[in-house]
Amino acid sequence: MSRPKIALVGGGQVGGNIALLSAQKELGDIVIIDIPEAENFMKGKALDISQLLPHDGYDSKLSGSSDFADLKGADVVVITAGFPRKPGMNREDLLQKNLSIMTNVAENVKKYAPDSFVIVVSNPLDAMVYAFYKVSGFSKNKVVGMAGALDSTRFRSFIAEATNLSSQDVNCMVLGGHGDTMVPVSRLATVGGVPLESLLDKETIKSIEDRTRFGGGEIVKLFGNGSAFYAPAQSAVEMVESFIRDKKRVIPCASLCDGEFGINGYFIGVPTVIGSQGVEKVLTFELNDDEKSALNNTLVEVQKTVEETGL
């Protein structure tokens, strides 16, 4: 039985770390595809990771390429291609630059890997995943955006830090768009089954929610050039693993909503079941009035960004 094939479109900091983490989890064979100018660099990354694997006895074949034809036979495609956000860059600047890249990628994935499950990581996420979906014509269970998985792991890490308890026992989720209007649902957050509201005061919880919303920006500021890559890579790998191993994990992802939470026709962060069929189900639950209004607020932002794509 052949190993699953994972194609990474974009081999920058996020793509390179996805390759490393996927190989260390033995999720499959990996091809990293980037622009022709970066082809040798991708081959170098693939070779470097290949030479690390014998240390722990992991088996995975890695290759680098600039030819979209190497997408052929991919079970899962993860797209990180695009310009990273820079300090002072607004969303519209980023959107126009990355939209033309995403259009090209979508046409090639449709041509060479029409049966693949696609995870979009490129920013601005809510618009890019929508653009991929529209251009590729893929069914809604085959396209998803990596956003909530990252936002939720940030939320988890801040809760662990504030409570001084193990991050392993923190359970929480973030809904909505991948931006400053995201909705950390503190009401349902628990540590070892104990409600967060029993462990921290309202003010501390509010500061954790705010830090989660601006978590990406905090790292962009600290780096001065470029954006986060370790946590985004691991978040994408969690989604790849759930698909390849049919784990049916419930991961907050940007999925196409069809009436869930009263949202229609937009990709937005919702609790998503990922299994061997791709997006298998979106789980819903009752929101309180504050959460409803926050989700509506984030939906308005997502609609604006999607309209700017003109698709």
Query: What are 273-289's pLDDT values in tens digits?
Result: 999 999 999 999 999 99
Which one of 3.30.530.20, 3.40.50.450, 3.40.50.720, 1.10.150.20 gives the CATH number of domain 5-145? 3.40.50.720
Per-residue pLDDT at 90: 67
Query: How high is the pLDDT of residue 179?
Result: 87
Q: Do domains 5-145 and 148-309 have the same CATH topology?
A: no
How does pLDDT run across 161-216, given as a tens digit for each residue? 999 999 999 999 999 999 899 999 999 999 999 999 999 999 999 999 999 999 99
Peptide bond into 124 cis (omega under 30): yes
pLDDT at 88 (0 to 100): 72
Neighbours of 203 (CB within 10 A): 8
Class of domain 148-309: alpha beta
Where does the pLDDT of residue 1 fall: very low under 50, low under 70, confident under 90, or very high at 90 and above? Answer: confident
Domain chopping of the chain, boundaries:
5-145, 148-309
Give this prediction's pTM. 0.96
93 pLDDT above the threshold of 80: no
Catalytic residues: 178
Q: For residue range 78-90, what is the model confidence (pLDDT) as tens digits?
A: 999 998 767 676 6
Supply the pLDDT for residue 38. 97
Residues belonging to the chain: 311
